[in-house]
């Protein structure tokens, strides 16, 4: 299947929010999100926000999925850090290598960068994709407030 990876644009907003809603309602994410959060995330992706960027996977004007990346710096590794915050591919397009290609895309774009992501333990399909892309589990748990 031929498709492109491009930045999220204003015209994608409704479809990306629909995918975000499905993603955050699934057991793949520990929180449910909200329309307020989804809109804020998309506005950050579409604007010139230096901390968040978003991408869609598009084939013949059909959006197959989306991803969002948050940028930071890792003092633990002494280099920039990209957090893969969201990676969602519509059910009909899973298993076609879109996730693996996206990892290659960001690794080429952000060389000399540490990449991190979170995954729910029961999301074995995603874990397999991440392991295939070279990701491994960290030996500690994260905390939040």
Mean pLDDT on 95-110: 96
Confidence (pLDDT) at 71: 97
Arithmetic mean of pLDDT, 88-97: 96
Q: What is the pLDDT of residues 117-136, one digit of tens each?
A: 999 888 999 999 999 999 99
Residue 38 C-alpha from the chain's centroid:
13
pLDDT tens string 56-89? 999 998 999 999 999 999 999 999 999 999 999 9
Angle between the N-to-C axes of helices 98-109 and 124-132, in degrees from 0 to 180, rounded to the nearest 10: 40
Q: What is the mean pLDDT of residues 43-61?
A: 96
Q: Which of 4-18, 33-47, 80-94, 116-130 has the lowest mean pLDDT?
A: 116-130
What confidence score (pLDDT) does residue 7 get?
A: 98
Judge whether residue 95 has pLDDT over 90.
yes
Confidence tier at 28 by pLDDT (50, 70, 90): confident
């Amino acid at each position: 299947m031929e498709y492109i990876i491009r930045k999220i644009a204003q015209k994608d907003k409704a479809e990306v929010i629909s995918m975000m809603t499905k993603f955050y309602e699934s057991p793949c994410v520990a929180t449910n999100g909200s329309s307020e959060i989804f809109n804020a995330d998309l506005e950050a992706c579409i604007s010139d926000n230096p901390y968040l960027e978003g991408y869609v996977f598009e084939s013949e004007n059909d959006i197959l999925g989306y991803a969002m990346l948050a940028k930071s710096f890792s003092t633990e590794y002494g280099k920039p850090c990209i957090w893969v915050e969201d990676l969602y591919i519509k059910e009909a397009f899973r298993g076609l290598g879109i996730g693996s290609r996206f990892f290659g895309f960001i690794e080429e774009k952000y060389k000399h960068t540490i990449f991190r992501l979170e995954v729910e333990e029961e999301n074995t399909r995603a874990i397999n994709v991440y392991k295939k892309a070279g990701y491994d589990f960290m030996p500690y748990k994260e905390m939040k407030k």
